[in-house]
Amino acid sequence: MSATDRPVPAADLKPLLSQLVPTDRTSMSPEDQRAEYVEFVEMFRGEEPAFAGTVTDELIQTGRHSHTVPVRRYRPDSAADAGHVLVYFHGGGWVLGNPVTHDRFTRAIADRLSLHVISVDYRLAPERPFPAAFDDCELVVAHAAEDATWLAVGGDSAGGNLAAAVAAHRATKGNPVDAQILIYPGLDVPIEGGDTSLDGMGLDRSDIDYFWASYRGDREPDPRLAPLLAPDPIPAPPTLVTTAGCDPLRPDGMQYAQRLIAADVPTMYVPFPHLIHGWLDLADAVASAGHAREILIDAIRVLRDSTAPTERVTRKQ
């Protein structure tokens, strides 16, 4: 990519980008990386907003595995339909993050849309490589499906990968979800040592290589690891895809949306040309990111309203 083709970040992001220091992840323990990420999130987080509902941390017990899956559950008091559920998977390269780091966004969705949101604290790599995170996410979605009248999955970055993978897996098993929300997702097998022209924009090529290797482990890639590996038509429900123009993962989201559109899957594509990967972390403090968050929540509302049933339907596993 030439200098003239390089995307231009929003003006209010430039001071932050000028201060970013590359992280040598191979020289840091996963625990130190996670602590650093939490510190970064806290730097830009505003005060906890009011929420008319309950927020509880729970353990989902499943019969298929010997462990429980922690979740953070948001139940609005004024939910228009208690059967409408979004299961959300946080980003962080399958290595970083948890429901607390992503609390502001999931809380905002639940509050603004009167939507029951379940945020999944799935097992992290490299200690627990694929398929641990996938299995945890799929099990929580199966649990939520027992009572949902409308069921969606969603996530940002690595969480978007998990959402697309789980949605496709359930569709092939005859238990599709009603909608999916993919926020700057990573959906393809990255080319190791690939294009570095967007380094310094929040997600460097070395980060992508490290995160992918940590999650993949010794597995051969398949569509559960990289949803773009699925043959056409990709098994997908009505979908909202959003990308950031200054993000090396932008081609993944664009290609996925194009393939769904070509297969006549109802698809909303919402690009943010001047934002960077991970802009949701900045939405409380950076105006351009905060504006994008408002647009994104409104788009989720449109997706929900266009796919939700008009009467209660009991789902089966």
**Residue positions annotated with a catalytic role:** 157, 247, 277
How many Cβ atoms sit within 10 Å of the Cβ of residue 40?
16
Distance CA 280, CA 105 (A): 7
DSSP structure string for 27-56: GS-HHHHHHHHHHHHHHH--PPPP-SEEEE
How many Cβ atoms sit within 10 Å of the Cβ of residue 227?
29
How many Cβ atoms sit within 10 Å of the Cβ of residue 300?
24
* Distance in angstroms between the alpha carbons of the first and the last residue of the chain: 47
Please, what sign has the CA dihedral across residues 146, 228, 115, 54? positive
Angle of helix 103-113 relative to helix 287-307, nearest 10 degrees, comes to 50
Unique residue bearing structure tokens 């509050």: 111
